[in-house]
């Protein structure tokens, strides 16, 4: 005796060895023995053998007409033998029953399963709908295959071209377009982004990098709707000072300026003037909500995404020749020691006399010219006293730090000539700029001073602020004043870039309350002590700032690769940082160089550039030789080679001014926490 039985959605045939009330012991043709329930048995038979029965049934089943079977079937539930008798017109053989069973079971559109070996024909209306769905699915499968074939032939179907951005960044994986793209990618063994780039869906790898970033952080677009800046609601006195700003040539968000007066007793009185958008961009206002959404200006070579609308920048940027609201810190200090004798903060309007530019002054303003009263020096009456006090302030900080700051690092400015969204038509210039330029150090010193003293003012009034501290090598942001060991100050609050960084805008609102209300400010400040929302601002800011820094570095890396192609570089020198990490000497491109022998940091090596991948942002290169030089190239050795030095340098850069406000973020800055100052407000990040 043999049986045909259902097992796990399929059918098997076997020989019965023994039988009990509820189960059977069976043996398959392979010799495998199994125990099955009697309820699983569909057909019992003597002839032919189990293996022959299944072979013959499987061969004959496709020949049965499903529509005819459906018409012959009883309208109520039936078993296979009943339908077989009706279809064949005689008592069916085991093979005939098995054939019909396999055909019915494989056609759920026509027959609905109602148990083991039992079925019911689909109602006519349900069958019609199901057949239409099957036909539609068939046509869709044909369309998917046709599109996939077209892609494999090297052409992008128009339907997919129209949805390229959606397919890559926000795909509906149930759509026919995605299924076609996915099928082609699987068969060609390529990622969707690379395949779409090769097919011309995107003009360049740069557009993919940008659209991916914009889609995640600016899904509604990076532009602003027209904005109205409210009146500041108070009369501000006009300051009788001669103030100057010092920025890069393309800076548009000018948020700091300096003034100076030499006093009869040898002391110097410096005015540090910061743009005051917090007078109008108040907590929870529409403009504040916009700034809080963005958290910071985003920089990249050739472009930027501002934190504030153009109307706010136009109203508060410290452009020369017009009165602009400012928060001013006046400090009287001894230039010899850097000791601060007195300080005062005022809300006022200032008129900047001139917006000075680094590209016009850096070559002229040298340490020698600053230190020599007889040397020619543009704006000497401004810069010489500022420089003297800046040196005293730096010396005082270094005494606290216990060691001098590392000022040997080199930064690079990226300038895109032409449309940055069309890299094939644009030209990239990457120009080195050493970080210890006197103007950089001068402005940075006064921004550090302001952030230190204003942080102390907030703490003395009991007003919470957002502070940045470093103790025991750990950098963190919090709402309470704490020492910053890397900079050498008792507290440090970002306050000097309110047009470009949301933390500074928040702190400026708190600072204005402290200036106007003193110790009562804790009751009227926008954020009250221990308010949870202030911690929410910190968390959101750190996440956004780190993401923006990663994007900026990716964009710089893209343009470094494009520079290699533009200049036709096939062989280059690099400096060893550590292990297999090197950095090209000509541009700030960091590479992992396989096959690099163990070499000391600072050693120059030569390598062949074999190719670049602008989508992966990778360089294919090969080690050639060690370049024999008189000594190690300490000037080209980045702080990347020394993590602690990198962290300290980044913290000083975060002081704002050209040493931070205009500083491109660097790999390794801020102990990996994305910390660095605002990037240069220019065609570079």
Q: What is the pLDDT of residues 446-463, one digit of tens each?
A: 999 999 999 999 999 999
CA atoms within 13 A on the CB side of 418: 9
Q: What is the pLDDT of residues 599-619, one digit of tens each?
A: 999 999 999 999 999 999 999
What does the alpha-carbon distance between residue 239 and residue 346 come to, in Å, rounded to a whole number? 9
Of 489, 502, 414, nearest to 652 by C-alpha is 489
CB < 8 Å & 24+ apart, contacts of 262-269: 262/385, 263/332, 266/334, 266/335, 267/332, 267/333, 267/334, 267/335, 267/341, 268/332, 268/333, 268/334, 268/335, 268/385, 268/386, 268/388, 268/389, 269/330, 269/331, 269/332
Bond preceding residue 82 cis, omega within 30 of 0: no
Mean pLDDT of 324-331: 97
What does the alpha-carbon distance between residue 5 and residue 41 come to, in Å, rounded to a whole number? 4
Per-chain mean pLDDT for the chain: 88
The pLDDT assigned to 244 comes to 97
Q: What are the Cα distances from residue 270, in Å, to 259, 345, 357?
A: 6, 12, 20
677 band by pLDDT with thresholds 50, 70 and 90: very low
Question: 342 φ, ψ to 5°?
Answer: -160, 155
233 band by pLDDT with thresholds 50, 70 and 90: confident
What does the alpha-carbon distance between residue 494 and residue 492 come to, in Å, rounded to a whole number? 7
Structure token pair of residue 336: 């010899």
Is the torsion defined by CA of 638, 644, 646, 652 positive or negative? Answer: negative
Task: Report the DSSP pairing between strands 111-115 and 303-305.
Answer: unpaired
358 band by pLDDT with thresholds 50, 70 and 90: confident
Of 33-42, 354-363, 629-638, the range with the lowest mean pLDDT is 629-638
Mean pLDDT of 275-286: 96
What does the alpha-carbon distance between residue 478 and residue 466 come to, in Å, rounded to a whole number? 6
Q: What whole-number percentage of the chain has pLDDT above 70?
A: 91
Helices (H) and strands (E) in the chain, counts: 20, 24
- Identify the DSSP state of 361: H
Mean pLDDT of 554-569: 95
pLDDT surpasses 70 at 407 = no
Mean pLDDT of 288-305: 94
SS3 138: helix
pLDDT surpasses 60 at 671 = no
Centroid of chain to Cα 449? 32
3-state SS record for 165-233: HHHHHCCCCCCHHHHHHHHHHHHHCCCHHHHHHHCCCCCCHHHHHHHHHHHHHCCCCCCCCCCCCCCCC
- Identify the DSSP state of 118: E
Question: 496 φ, ψ to 5°?
Answer: -105, 10
CB contact at 8 A, 679 and 412:
no
pLDDT surpasses 60 at 639 = no
The pLDDT assigned to 73 comes to 87
The pLDDT assigned to 115 comes to 83
Residues 6+ apart with CB under 8 A from 99: 56, 57, 60, 61, 64
9 band by pLDDT with thresholds 50, 70 and 90: confident
Q: What are the Cα distances from residue 28, in Å, to 5, 40, 50, 93, 100?
A: 12, 15, 8, 21, 22
442 band by pLDDT with thresholds 50, 70 and 90: very high
Q: What whole-number percentage of the chain has pLDDT above 90?
A: 72
Residues facing 115 on adjacent strands: 118
CB contact at 8 A, 459 and 491:
yes
CB-based burial, 121-159: b 16+ in 10 Å, e otherwise: bbeeeebeeeeeeeeeeeeeeebbeebbebbeeeebbee
Longest dimension (CA), the chain: 126
The pLDDT assigned to 53 comes to 93
pLDDT surpasses 80 at 371 = yes
The pLDDT assigned to 437 comes to 85
Q: What are the Cα distances from residue 94, in Å, to 47, 57, 60, 280?
A: 7, 9, 13, 90
Mean pLDDT of 296-310: 94
Q: What is the pTM of this model?
A: 0.79
631 band by pLDDT with thresholds 50, 70 and 90: low
Of 610, 614, 612, 635, nearest to 622 by C-alpha is 610
Alpha helices in 248-343 (DSSP H): 286-294, 310-316
pLDDT surpasses 80 at 336 = yes
SS3 446: helix
Which residue carries 């796990």 as its tokens? 8
CB contact at 8 A, 105 and 84:
no
The pLDDT assigned to 633 comes to 55
Which residue carries 């928060």 as its tokens? 327
The pLDDT assigned to 582 comes to 93
What does the alpha-carbon distance between residue 336 and residue 332 come to, in Å, rounded to a whole number? 12
Mean pLDDT of 318-325: 96
Q: Is 30 exposed, middle or buried (0-12, 13-18, 19+ CB in 10 A)?
A: exposed
Task: Report the DSSP pairing between strands 268-275 and 256-262.
Answer: antiparallel
670 band by pLDDT with thresholds 50, 70 and 90: very low
Of 256, 239, 246, nearest to 496 by C-alpha is 256
SS3 592: strand
Cβ neighbours around 90 below 10 Å, total: 9
629 band by pLDDT with thresholds 50, 70 and 90: low
Is the torsion defined by CA of 503, 324, 444, 258 positive or negative? Answer: negative
Q: What is the pLDDT of residues 462-478, one digit of tens each?
A: 999 999 999 888 899 99
Q: What is the pLDDT of residues 119-155, one digit of tens each?
A: 999 999 999 998 898 888 999 899 999 999 999 999 9
The pLDDT assigned to 667 comes to 28
């Amino acid at each position: 005796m043999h049986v045909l039985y259902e097992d796990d959605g399929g059918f098997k045939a076997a020989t019965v060895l023994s039988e009990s009330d509820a189960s059977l012991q069976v043996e398959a043709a392979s010799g495998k023995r199994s125990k099955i329930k009697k309820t699983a048995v569909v057909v019992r038979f003597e002839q032919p053998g189990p293996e022959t029965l299944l072979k013959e049934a499987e061969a004959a089943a496709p020949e049965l007409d499903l529509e005819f079977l459906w018409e012959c079937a009883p309208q109520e539930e039936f078993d296979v033998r009943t339908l077989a008798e009706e279809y064949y017109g005689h008592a069916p053989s085991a093979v005939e029953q098995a054939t019909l069973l396999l055909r019915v079971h494989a056609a759920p559109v026509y027959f609905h399963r109602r148990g083991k070996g039992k079925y019911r024909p689909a109602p006519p209306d349900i069958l019609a709908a199901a057949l239409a769905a099957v036909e539609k699915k068939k046509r869709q499968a044909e369309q998917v295959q046709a599109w996939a074939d077209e892609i494999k032939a090297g052409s992008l179907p128009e339907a997919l071209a129209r949805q390229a951005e959606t397919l890559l960044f926000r795909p509906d994986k149930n759509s026919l377009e995605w299924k076609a793209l996915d099928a082609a990618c699987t068969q060609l063994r390529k990622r969707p982004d690379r395949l779409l780039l090769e097919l011309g869906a995107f003009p360049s790898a740069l557009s993919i990098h940008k659209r991916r970033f914009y889609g995640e952080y600016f899904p509604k677009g990076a532009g602003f709707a027209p904005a109205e800046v409210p009146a500041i609601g108070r009369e501000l006195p006009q300051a009788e000072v001669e103030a100057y700003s010092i920025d890069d040539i393309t800076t548009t968000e000018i948020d700091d300026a300096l003034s100076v007066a030499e006093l009869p007793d040898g002391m110097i009185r410096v005015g540090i003037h910061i743009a005051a958008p917090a007078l109008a961009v108040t907590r929870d206002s529409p403009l504040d909500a916009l700034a809080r959404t963005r958290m910071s200006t985003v920089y990249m070579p050739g472009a930027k995404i501002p934190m504030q609308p153009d109307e706010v920048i136009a109203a508060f940027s410290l452009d020369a020749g017009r009165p602009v609201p400012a928060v001013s810190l006046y400090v009287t200090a001894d230039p010899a020691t850097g000791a601060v004798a007195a300080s005062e903060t005022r809300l006022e309007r200032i008129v900047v006399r001139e917006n000075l530019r680094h590209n016009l002054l850096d070559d002229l303003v040298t340490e020698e010219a600053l230190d020599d009263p007889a040397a020619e020096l543009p704006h000497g009456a401004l810069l010489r006293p500022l420089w003297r006090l800046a040196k005293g302030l730096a010396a005082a900080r270094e005494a606290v730090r216990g060691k001098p700051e590392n000022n040997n690092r080199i930064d690079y400015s990226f300038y895109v000539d032409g449309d940055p969204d069309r890299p094939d038509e644009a030209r990239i210039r990457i120009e080195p700029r050493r970080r210890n330029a006197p103007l950089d150090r001068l402005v940075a010193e006064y921004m550090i001073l302001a952030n230190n003293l204003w942080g102390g003012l907030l703490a003395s009034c009991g007003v919470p602020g957002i502070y940045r501290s470093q103790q025991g090598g750990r950098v963190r942001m919090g709402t309470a004043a704490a020492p910053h060991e890397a900079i050498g100050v008792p507290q440090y609050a970002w306050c000097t870039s309110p047009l470009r960084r949301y933390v500074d805008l928040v702190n400026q609102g708190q600072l204005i309350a402290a200036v106007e209300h003193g110790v009562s400010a804790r009751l009227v400040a926008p954020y009250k002590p221990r308010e949870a929302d202030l911690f929410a601002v910190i968390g959101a800011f750190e996440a956004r700032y780190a993401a923006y820094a990663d994007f900026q570095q990716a964009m710089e890396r893209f343009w470094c690769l494009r520079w290699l192609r533009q200049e036709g570089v096939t062989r280059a020198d690099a400096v060893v940082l550590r292990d297999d990490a090197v950095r090209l000497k000509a541009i700030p491109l960091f590479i992992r160089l396989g096959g690099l022998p163990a070499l000391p940091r600072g050693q120059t090596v030569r390598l062949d550039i074999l190719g670049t991948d602008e989508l992966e942002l990778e360089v294919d290169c090969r080690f050639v030789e060690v370049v024999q030089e008189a000594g190690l190239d300490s000037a080209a050795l980045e702080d990347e080679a020394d993590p602690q030095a990198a962290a300290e340098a980044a913290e000083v850069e975060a002081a704002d001014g050209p040493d931070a406000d205009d500083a491109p973020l660097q790999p390794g800055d801020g102990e990996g926490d994305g910390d660095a100052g605002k990037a240069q407000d220019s065609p570079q990040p």
